Structure 1
Amino acid sequence: MKKVWALVLTTAMALSVLSGCSGSQKPEASSNQGQKEGTEAEKTLEDQDKKKETVTLRMWGGVPAEAGPQAVCDNFNELYKDKGIQEEYERFVNDDTGNLKLETNLLSGTGVDLYMTYAADVLVKRAGGNMALDLSELIERDGFELKQYFGDMAEAYYVNGKPFSIPTKLDQYGIVINKDMFDEAGIEIPTEWTFDEFAETAKKLTHGEGPDKVYGMFWNSQQDLTYVFSDLVTQTNGGDPMYLSETETSFKDPVVIKAVELINNMMNVDKTSPTHTDSVTQKLSQEGMFLTGKCAMTIGPWIVRSIKDKETYPHDFTTAFAPYPVVEKGQRNYTQGSYGDFLCINPKTENIDAAWEFAKWYATEGMLPVVEGGRVPASNTYDPEVVAKAFLNGAEDHIDLDSAMKILIAPADNCAVPSITNHIAEVKKVVTEELEKIFIGQQTVEAGMSKAKERADAFLK
């Protein structure tokens, strides 16, 4: 009997111990689970804090996102994902309507942190209208001297002696040429030519009638009539082709008159270029004319991004480039070279420091994706060979490298640098109105340019 009770007691004690062990494990497991849930909650809060700390910038530009800007943003976002800055791109069309939309957003202070300005007169307007931030303090704070990266020419784009933008693109332009048409006509790609030689070449390349007609030249006048100054006058007269001085325009200068006569004759006398009326009413474009073989030459190598897009613009010819012509042999004093793509910061942004960080990165190291669309960096921080490779990427078989390097990529040391912006918006508007009357046959070249000078000079005195 004693043995039985001893067995019962031993069993009871063992069960009690087991029960106690089992009971002590449950609270421990619960404690571990609580710690785990607490850790996950803390992590979630940290992630939320991180998201709150991340600044998302909105940059507006006129280049289609797929032509490089989206890749720029993707590269930046990868590099800066742990630094709390991300970038989004908004495309606006670089015309009157698109620029009005941009400026409306700038003045309202919403939706724009950084943006591109594409013309010096527009930059002046935005700087004076509190739509572009004076970068002086940021430049001084960070020691980011523009001359260090962009040379003395950077100061040509100051407004009233102050920097309101970073000039990111080197604009070296020339005539865009269908090399196959030149080869078939036995014409070599020019390395220099006069207005007369240019006009004769256009005649040789013009043939056909009606819808089958191929023009020697397309001036793209419906986009901007003042190309006559930047592309035909600058080479001889320098970086202020519309001015003789701060108080006088150049609209009766002999080189200006010859340049306007050249375009007018090609449109309305020789018929080697579509008329301005046709360009406007038919909404002609470089892509629609040049890449479909409707013209042998056109103006402005910003078409490079479309040349590479053979899916949208199928073609099988090689594109080459030539300098703009001058009035007489040996007259060239300057290269049609300047800076463009003026990157500005909206003074109303709440993210000035983050926007400035992106602007510096973009200008000095982030531009390679847009080089593929024909935009050559202005900063001296880029390797020319890398730039050339990016420029040709996707078009190795249909862009002539030799002429592209000479005209568009290799930096020139005699660029025409602008220095006068006095009432430039008003001056440009006046001369555009008078040029249009000339090109549609409402007035002669001499009468129209005299009227343009009289009207524009009134703003300067």
Structure 2
Amino acid sequence: MKKTVGFLMCLAAAGMLAGCGGKTDAGTSATTAAGGGAETVAQGESKAEAAGEPVVINYYDWDIPDQKFIDDFNAANPDIQVVVHSIPANGERLTKLDILAMSGGDMDVMPISDGDQFTRFESGMLAPLDEFIERDGLDMEASFGKYAIWGQSDGKYYGIPFRATQTGIYYNKDMFDQAGVAYPSDDWTLDEYIETARKMAEWGKDQGIYGTYTHTYANEWATVAAQKGEWYTADGKCNIKDPAWQTALETRKMLDDEGTQMPYGQIVAVKAVINSSFLGGKEAMVNAGSWLVRDMKNKDKFPFDFNVGVAYLPRFDETVEGPRSNYSCSVLGIPENSKHKEEAWRFIRYYVEECSNYIAASGNLPTYLPAYNDEMVNIFCEGSGLDVEYGKKFFDGDVKLTTNKIIGPCGAQYMQIGKEEIEQYFNGEKTLEETLDNIERRVNEELAKQ
């Protein structure tokens, strides 16, 4: 409980609790969900349960695959009624979920993505799931393989993996054809990636087209270097001065400064985003997750008209074996404050184990390995315009995966400190040496508190 209160205080200190009221896309009032209004949702549920009606559980998410799977679950489980609430897919989504989880509100199933889950596991926000897992005989390794670790903290499970993303280099085949530049190979190296990006930038400079694009997400600069770099020293201290990280940072700044890609500061200033930038024809290549396939299906919002190819990530250097991808995973957890943990667990298992095709159809990667089959790749690509042969790369069991997310002691703080310091380096406000010194000092201070 003390950790949870501390976590909430950190949000408040950062000014994150302001402006989180209002309605979600589904029309659910955030203040009502947190206990405001004449009658709270929880009070209404208690009356319904007392009358022998189904237990209502509330699921919030910013990426609902299809309402039909919710309807199917409700039909198959008449004692439970799942109500889904869509929240905006913007930078405030996690803050809204945090408040709902910690306020004693009505949320029973909480999605958390891309490494953000570990701080929440440690805070006590989510209920441990080990008793459910053991009772049901769920083999986490057999069911989720490489994704299982994303639901763990300190040897306990607090989340069940349900969707994932793997990174590739998407490229505009039409631009490459016009430029007379060979398509990226699946065995290329970082040096070859840089050379290709420069060729495409030179071709596109008079048209306002960049050679490639790297976004401003925390540690996005590290997706390739993660094949070689280590975040911690052997004695558990900050290892940001690992040569691999230095090379990656220098490479990002070099490509920015020479105009090969849109500079970090410009991306922030114009609020550029990966999907609309690449699908809008503003660069020849982009380093992006498999989730971009989801946006390629949305032709109303992204009406692109060119052919897209996908290559594996470049290898950091010749010593690294391929093929390579960067990955991260989203999990479903049950808030400690939920009054319906048993029912929430039943829904999570149904969603994860029975709805992989729905997840694939939405352009996301399912994490439940027993559900994988050739048809799933077709479902994943359908409607996107992406050739199935490219889509198969995201389902390749032989690809070697690493992650740019920091999964370890003070991982969330490590990434936040890095983002704060590194953006000053990218914007020319600090030298690389100053940047690395500051990160090392600040992260080691956090580690010393453990």
Look up the equivalent residue of 2:368 and give its one-letter code: S
CA offset digits 1:149-190 (Å, max 9, x no partner): 113651464111100001122432211221222233331232
Among 415, 419, 423, the residue aligned to 2:410: 423
1:427 Cα deviation after fit: 0.8
- Residue equivalent to 1:312: 301
Measure the CA separation in 2 of the matches of 1:74 and 1:147: 30
- Residue equivalent to 1:435: 422
- Residue equivalent to 1:454: 441
In structure 2, relative to structure 1, the CA distance for the partners of 1:401 and 1:245 (3 Å cut) is farther
Among 99, 110, 122, the residue aligned to 2:94: 99
Instruction: Specify every segment of 5 or more residues in structure 1 that has no aligned partner in the other structure, as ranges.
Output: 1-47
- Residue equivalent to 2:73: 76
Residue 126 of structure 2 is aligned to residue 132 of structure 1:
yes
Alignment of structure 1 residues 351-390 onto 2, 5 Å: 351-390=340-379
Measure the CA separation in 2 of the matches of 1:445 and 1:325: 24
1:263 Cα deviation after fit: 0.9
Richer in helix (by share)? 1
Q: Is the 8 A contact 2:380 2:391 kept in 1?
A: no
Q: Is the 8 A contact 2:147 2:329 kept in 1?
A: no
- Residue equivalent to 2:292: 303
1:443 Cα deviation after fit: 1.7
1:343 Cα deviation after fit: 0.8
Measure the CA separation in 2 of the matches of 1:267 and 1:277: 9
Residue 412 of structure 2 is aligned to residue 412 of structure 1:
no
Residue 225 of structure 2 is aligned to residue 233 of structure 1:
yes
% of aligned pairs identical? 25
Q: Is the 8 A contact 2:406 2:415 kept in 1?
A: no
3-state DSSP class of the match of 1:216? coil
Measure the CA separation in 2 of the matches of 1:393 and 1:425: 36
- Residue equivalent to 2:250: 261
Residue 158 of structure 2 is aligned to residue 167 of structure 1:
no
Instruction: Specify every segment of 5 or more residues in structure 2 that has no aligned partner in the other structure, as ranges.
Output: 1-47
In structure 2, relative to structure 1, the CA distance for the partners of 1:334 and 1:111 (3 Å cut) is farther
3-state DSSP class of the match of 1:140? helix
Larger Rg belongs to: 1
In structure 2, relative to structure 1, the CA distance for the partners of 1:355 and 1:196 (3 Å cut) is same
- Residue equivalent to 2:240: 251
Residue 288 of structure 2 is aligned to residue 291 of structure 1:
no
1:275 Cα deviation after fit: 1.1
Look up the equivalent residue of 1:382 and give its one-letter code: A
1:279 Cα deviation after fit: 0.7
Measure the CA separation in 1 of the matches of 2:374 and 2:174: 26
The two structures have a TM-score, normalised by structure 1, of: 0.80
Measure the CA separation in 2 of the matches of 1:153 and 1:62: 21
1:76 Cα deviation after fit: 2.5
Among 378, 384, 403, the residue aligned to 2:390: 403
Q: Is the 8 A contact 2:150 2:329 kept in 1?
A: no
In structure 2, relative to structure 1, the CA distance for the partners of 1:351 and 1:209 (3 Å cut) is same
- Residue equivalent to 1:56: 56
1:415 Cα deviation after fit: 3.0
Measure the CA separation in 1 of the matches of 2:114 and 2:236: 21
The two structures have a TM-score, normalised by structure 2, of: 0.81
Q: Is the 8 A contact 2:409 2:447 kept in 1?
A: yes
In structure 2, relative to structure 1, the CA distance for the partners of 1:74 and 1:176 (3 Å cut) is farther
- Residue equivalent to 1:196: 191
Look up the equivalent residue of 2:69 and give its one-letter code: V
Measure the CA separation in 1 of the matches of 2:88 and 2:121: 20
1:96 Cα deviation after fit: 4.7
3-state DSSP class of the match of 1:356? helix
3-state DSSP class of the match of 1:134? coil
Q: Is the 8 A contact 1:318 1:400 kept in 2?
A: no
1:413 Cα deviation after fit: 6.2
Aligned residues: 397
CA offset digits 1:294-326 (Å, max 9, x no partner): 111112232211111112211111222112223
Among 381, 391, 413, the residue aligned to 2:380: 391
